[in-house]
Amino acid sequence: MSFPLERSAPENDLGLDDNPQSWLMHCGYLLPTCVLPGCRQPVAAVGEPCHGCRAAFGDMLQPADSPQLTAHQIAARDRPVEHAYARRGFA
């Protein structure tokens, strides 16, 4: 697996491009994590659920008709959930 060093898209509001590897490296992750909010299990590709979530949720997990989210979009979507977990002492 190779990680491109050049930027794949214009920078976003965090100063990072939408290349999933650059976002993950910025966050300190070596592998992408599960797409479900609150789950931090590693997965093979950005936007995939982990094996544990697949087992727990089974057929309730369905592919969306919309384009797959980037790592940046997933992080922005999950930020309020992470803040709520932190306020409740789950973080």
Closest-CA residue to 29 (of 37, 38, 20):
20
pLDDT score at 27: 58
What tens digit of pLDDT does each residue of 63-73 get?
Answer: 888 898 888 99
Overall average pLDDT of the 1-22 stretch: 49
> What pTM, to 2 d.p., does this model score?
0.58
pLDDT score at 5: 42
What tens digit of pLDDT does each residue of 22-76 get?
Answer: 555 555 557 899 999 888 899 999 999 999 999 999 999 998 888 988 889 988 9
